[in-house]
Structure 1
Amino acid sequence: MAPADAAAPQEGRRSLRTLPKAHLHLHFTGSMRHETLVELADRHGVRLPDALRDSWPPHLTATDEKGWFRFQRLYDIARSVLRDEQDVRRLIRETAEDEAAEGSRWLEIQVDPSGYAGRFGGITPFTELVLDAVQEAARRTGVGIAVVIAANRTRHPLDARTLARLAAQYAGRGVVGFGLSNDERRGRAEEFARAFAIATRAGLASVPHGGELCGPDSVRGCLDALGATRIGHGVRAVEDPALLDRIAARGVPLEVCPASNVALGVYPDASAVPLRALFAAGVQIALGADDPLLFGVRLTGQYQIARELGFSDFELAELARMSVRASCAPSDVQAKILADIDAWLAGADTERPTAGSLAS
């Protein structure tokens, strides 16, 4: 007689694409498919540098300001190919399709409307376009999608307050959080406290970036000044054991993006990313792809990195559970995804949700 578990998938052999998960760290233009970038650039007469066309993905580093400037310049060029409503709708539709193919059941996509306002009639019309496109893509794919509006920390804090009021206006109508992104060396968290106060009063999650290019003080600023309920990156918190204990005790999730940490030169290779140390310390982790258009690795690839770092299927399932619990998804949606993660671990096939069943 065969052993009772003979039919169970071998350890490390379960498909990471079918592992149900939530994706909480994905930037708007950065989610674009490379082939879509090239096609839209050709259509609209945008000249792409070789790093975005034939030598893609680009070789990047951002550990100094010159390197970050190059990264930001490439991102800005990519953003410039979005010229009309159909371009925006296509980007969101294809992103949702890619998320569905990667097992993502819930997506929180981050966007700074001010970066697109000039071509789309202002920050409010652009936000409404994005929210409408998100609803349409969710219905088509069955992936629940919400929006995080993010301020740019290299711009004046007054601009952040304008965006916080915009985010507050759409709280409960597709916007679930308020973020802060761009070069964390050029804008201390404390300068944006009033903007985050506006957003949190409206019931939005506080989800600033911190602790990637800068060290533990950047993470501490997000916690103390911005009341962070989740932190984008935050990996440098491992350099301060007391801070790490505080994050774990308070249950503040970190959106960890291993491939981008390596691509930007924060760590020399994937083995140096402190994913295991964070996990062992009891920190809640939500793996994210950040900007796959520039880094070349989508969400499943982040889980593959974790597998290559020695995470078992049991631990990978727990990482997926953490991503779901850290999300702003409704409780019934979370419960369904968590049940499907258990089924994945047990080796059972899980059905893809029907279109619209997870959308909210």
Structure 2
Amino acid sequence: MIGHLKKVELHCHLEGAAPPVLAQAQANKYGVDTRDFLRDGAYVWHDFTSFLGAYDAVASLFRTEADYALLTETYLGSLAAAGTVYSEIFVSPDHGEAVGLGADGYIAGISRGIEAARIRTGIECRMVVIGLRHKGPERVEWAARYAANCRNPLVTGFNMAGEERVGRVADYARAFDIARDAGLGITIHAGELCGAFSVRDALDHVRPSRIGHGVRAIEDPALVDRLADEGIVLEVCPGSNVALGVFPDFASHPLRRLHAAGVKVTLNSDDPPFFQTSLQREYAVASEAMGFTAAETDEMTRTAIDAAFVDEATRAALLERL
């Protein structure tokens, strides 16, 4: 019943959105054996650590500006076909550095793909630069400085992702100060693999306007109240949470309880082909498995636009499109 609704996505990792058919084509192009991470048209992993390994293997298949332009336009085109009017994609300059493209070439290629998709489909998109937590505080600060100084108008936010069980949130606070001082929107992965304490630490040390996942806040009723009172927006990814075993099934997922408690929530796909999902499916799951009405789902989309890292003129134009 929600197929006709306009959609918005705030939480998707670009390399994690690569369709397996495109990844295989890239592997053929560069002569890469994919058997360790891609078989029979599906990505292969069994836990969060092996998922990160598969993710990095897929990322290594994109090596030029043209490769990244193709990946970006491909994903945004699929979103637009499902009625999506706005997307924020998480981008990691570390991946550009790893393949020898460099951060500037990496961002330039993605920018080309964003513009091509906008011209072809009308979808708006911005980039949120990611610092990789498991690479340590100094490298996350490097990513924050890059985001702060790259002067690309499509880079509007900063985030930290990766292995949530490495280090303390406080160790990374300076990176977020660098990004905030540059006027970037702030979000952070928390409350996914780690419990409610990680969400509390994020609020205390990073002061984000949004939290990626955040769903394990449900373990602490006082924290749920705090999220609601402070108006923190959660970028919720039910399909990802179930695929990674954070919750055993959609019936036990806390999205409905968080929404009922007054927490601002949005729907997102995270790394869609890795988790056999899509933004369209996330909206369908909310409706069919969690009982959200079309009006409630549309409210989540409006919440996402209100929380998007865009200028006010763009925000107004996106709201008009709903």
Short-chain TM bin:
over 0.9
| Secondary structure in 1 matching 2:286 | helix
Partner of 2:11: 25
Q: Are the counterparts in 2 of residues 285 and 322 from structure 1 also a CA contact under 8 Å? A: yes
AA of the residue aligned to 1:52 = L
* 1:69 alignment partner, one of 49, 59, 65: 49
Matched, 1:333 2:314: yes
Instruction: Name stretches of at least 5 consecutive residues in structure 2 with no aligned partner.
Output: none
Partner of 2:32: 46
Partner of 1:344: none
Shift of 1:295: 0.9
Give TM-score scaled by structure 1 length.
0.85
Partner of 1:205: 185
In structure 2, distance between residues paired with 1:50 and 1:188: 32
* 2:256 alignment partner, one of 276, 284, 296: 276
Aligned-residue sequence identity (percent) comes to 38
Shift of 1:53: 2.5
Q: More displaced, 121-130 or 318-327?
A: 121-130
Matching of residues 115-264 of structure 1 within 5 Å: 115-170=95-150, 173-264=153-244
Matched, 1:294 2:280: no
- For residues 168-224 of structure 1, the C-alpha deviation after alignment (integer angstroms, 9 at most, x for no partner) is 113561111110001111122111111110000011111110001001111111111
* Structure with bigger RCO (C-alpha 8 Å, 6+ apart): 1
In structure 2, distance between residues paired with 1:59 and 1:161: 29
Shift of 1:58: 4.1
Q: Are the counterparts in 2 of residues 171 and 202 from structure 1 also a CA contact under 8 Å? A: no
Q: Residue 50 and residue 121 in structure 1: after superposition, are their counterparts in 2 closer, same or farther (change >3 A)?
A: closer
In structure 2, distance between residues paired with 1:208 and 1:219: 9
Q: More displaced, 163-172 or 222-231?
A: 163-172
Shift of 1:329: 2.9
Partner of 2:304: 323
- If you compute each CA radius of gyration, which structure gives the higher value, 1 or 2? 1
Shift of 1:129: 3.0
Q: Are the counterparts in 1 of residues 37 and 57 from structure 2 also a CA contact under 8 Å? A: no
Matched, 1:113 2:99: no
Shift of 1:96: 1.2
| Secondary structure in 1 matching 2:12 | strand
Shift of 1:288: 0.7
Q: Are the counterparts in 2 of residues 209 and 234 from structure 1 also a CA contact under 8 Å? A: yes
Give TM-score scaled by structure 2 length.
0.94
Instruction: Count residues with an aligned counterpart.
Output: 321
In structure 2, distance between residues paired with 1:126 and 1:337: 27
Instruction: Name stretches of at least 5 consecutive residues in structure 1 with no aligned partner.
Output: 1-12, 61-66, 342-360
In structure 2, distance between residues paired with 1:302 and 1:213: 20
| Secondary structure in 1 matching 2:247 | coil
Partner of 1:64: none
Q: More displaced, 294-303 or 253-262?
A: 294-303
Partner of 1:3: none
AA of the residue aligned to 1:189 = V
Q: Are the counterparts in 2 of residues 32 and 293 from structure 1 also a CA contact under 8 Å? A: yes
Q: More displaced, 312-321 or 263-272?
A: 312-321
In structure 2, distance between residues paired with 1:96 and 1:245: 35
In structure 2, distance between residues paired with 1:295 and 1:332: 34
In structure 1, distance between residues paired with 2:114 and 2:297: 28
Shift of 1:70: 0.9
- For residues 237-267 of structure 1, the C-alpha deviation after alignment (integer angstroms, 9 at most, x for no partner) is 1111111111111111000000000000101
